[in-house]
């Protein structure tokens, strides 16, 4: 049974790259029924797009997203840095599919501000070549990480994430994330927003940030390269969905229900 949700936000899928977990994303999208689906940037990685690499699973994600629009789901595609080419055409409305650079929604008498976040990135603004080069290096690191994790699983060891270890160990990266979150929160508070949602830095988060005597709820949807996370809003509450834990848990629960149902049917038959 599909979970009915008021709002779902995903970002940084990077379709068209080797690091994209399209199969897992399809499983997630098939499990939900959102009223509003927000794609918060870097859904298609136009920077690294190549004709020689567009697997069926990536096409399935694109088709699934479009199919939501035919099922009375409003879809907002917010442009990011890796799909910034779309900014030449925004704003653009195609039925229930809306292309924008930023979005403000009223959620239960509160204001939600959504934007990708790359406009606050110094590297993006001043050295785009370095940012693109870094993106290629990140993609290579993800591919290498996958091969090593396959080997680790074969010998009974746990998976590791090189990029997360690097980010957590490098003080500058940690400081950048903290500065990014605080800057976003400060701008949101100045504009009287209650919630602000970003992507870009691939760090899923829900946290209240207070500046002066005002507080804003900072949200980050993470990514579908490593974290495999999404933001979900229902019953006036925000949650982070983590595919690694939440989806596997839901599958186990469904299997248990099937086992119970089968045993009950068998008992009734006997």
pLDDT at 52: 82
Among the listed residues 128, 98, 100, 116, the one whose alpha carbon sits nearest the alpha carbon of residue 41? 116
Q: How far apart are CA 163 and CA 166, in angstroms?
A: 5
Residue 176 buriedness (CB in 10 A; 0-12 / 13-18 / 19+)? middle
Using the structure block, give the residue that is written with the tokens 């080797």: 18
* pTM, to two decimals: 0.78
Q: Tell me the helices (H) and strands (E) count for the chain, helix number first.
A: 7, 12
pLDDT at 179: 86
The residue extents of the domains of the chain are: 3-121+174-269
How many beta carbons lie within 10 A of that of residue 100, not counting itself? 19
Residues paired with 78 in a beta bridge: 40, 100
What CATH fold (topology level) applies to the domain 3-121+174-269?
Answer: Purple Acid Phosphatase; chain A, domain 2 (3.60.21)
- How distant, in Å, are the alpha carbons of 15, 82, 141, 204, 222 from that of 136? 14, 12, 9, 22, 19
Q: Average pLDDT of each block of 10 consecutive residues along the chain (270 residues)? A: 95 93 96 97 87 92 94 95 91 95 95 94 48 52 65 69 54 66 94 97 95 96 95 97 84 55 44
């Amino acid at each position: 049974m599909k979970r009915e949700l008021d709002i779902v936000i995903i970002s940084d899928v990077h379709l068209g790259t080797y690091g994209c977990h399209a199969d897992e994303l399809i499983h997630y999208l098939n499990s939900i029924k959102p009223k509003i689906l927000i794609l918060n940037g870097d859904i298609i990685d136009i920077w690294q797009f190549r004709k020689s690499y567009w697997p069926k699973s990536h096409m399935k994600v694109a088709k699934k997203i479009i199919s939501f629009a035919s099922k009375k789901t409003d879809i907002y595609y917010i442009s990011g840095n890796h799909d910034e080419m779309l900014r030449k055409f925004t704003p653009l409305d195609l039925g229930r599919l809306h292309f924008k650079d930023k979005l403000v929604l009223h959620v239960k008498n509160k204001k939600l501000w959504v934007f990708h976040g790359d406009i606050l990135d110094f590297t993006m603004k001043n050295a785009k070549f370095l940012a693109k080069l870094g993106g290629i290096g990140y993609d290579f690191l993800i591919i290498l990480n996958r091969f090593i994790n396959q080997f680790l699983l074969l010998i009974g060891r746990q998976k590791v994430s090189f990029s997360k270890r690097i980010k957590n160990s490098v003080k500058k990266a940690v400081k950048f994330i903290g500065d990014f979150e605080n800057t976003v929160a400060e701008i949101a508070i100045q504009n009287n927003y209650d919630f602000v949602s970003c992507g870009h830095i691939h760090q899923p988060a829900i946290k209240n940030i207070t500046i002066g005597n005002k507080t804003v709820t900072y949200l980050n949807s993470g990514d579908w390269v490593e974290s495999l996370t999404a933001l979900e809003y229902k019953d006036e509450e925000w949650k982070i969905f983590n595919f690694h834990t939440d989806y596997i848990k839901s599958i186990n629960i469904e299997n248990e229900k099937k086992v119970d149902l089968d045993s009950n049917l068998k008992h009734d038959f006997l």
